[in-house]
Amino acid sequence: MNKAVGIWLITVVAVVTAFSLVSGVGFMGGGISLPLPGILGSDVLIPTLLFSAVLALINTFIKPILKLITLPITIITLGFFALVLNVFVLYLTKWISNTYLDTGFYINSFFSAFLAAIIISIVTAVLGLVTGVDSDSKKSRKKESRRQTNSRPNDRRGERW
């Protein structure tokens, strides 16, 4: 599976989980309706997929820059500001998806966004670890180079012992 598709599917699961657990965030409806149980059977299937795509793109391209910019305040607040940054990313995703894609996403309060951001972060991290989709490319390259190094025949020219 393509890594981008895997990240997007993990984000879809995280968004559906957060919207199911937190009552202050969700969609106003207006999309297509399918005969499926739960949130997938409602009229928010397409908006959920679009919102998740925007969130995955923001997390991939914009959030690392924001993390770097806010690193000093994150260190001063002992990591708490990273949670506030997640809420900001959720609000940014709301603005982009409502402005350009007309998804009808709403956030009732900062606390609702805070809880949803925590749930999305936890679910995304756990599913990323379980599936291996969100693994760090540097770690993968190091493991691959170790495998290649270990699979080479021993060339002992130049060794003293």
- Domains in the chain, number: 1
In a domain, 31, yes or no: yes
In a domain, 160, yes or no: no
Q: What global pTM score does this model have?
A: 0.76
In a domain, 158, yes or no: no
> Which has the higher per-residue pLDDT, 20 or 147?
20
pLDDT attached to residue 31: 42
The pLDDT of residue 64 is above 60: yes
Amino acid at 109: S
Q: What is the DSSP letter of 152?
A: S
Q: What are the residues whose beta carbons fall under 8 Å from the beta carbon of 135, sequence distance 6 or more?
A: 128
In a domain, 13, yes or no: yes
In a domain, 156, yes or no: no
Region of poorest pLDDT, from 4-8, 15-19, 40-44, 72-76 = 40-44
pLDDT attached to residue 65: 96
Question: Mean pLDDT over all residues of the chain?
Answer: 82
In a domain, 19, yes or no: yes
Q: Are 52 and 11 in contact (CB under 8 A)?
A: yes
pLDDT attached to residue 140: 53
Tell me the β-bridge partners of 27.
105
> Which has the higher per-residue pLDDT, 135 or 111?
111
In a domain, 157, yes or no: no
The pLDDT of residue 34 is above 80: no
| Domain enclosing residue 85, as ranges | 3-150
In a domain, 133, yes or no: yes
Which residue's structure tokens are 């919102």?
A: 51
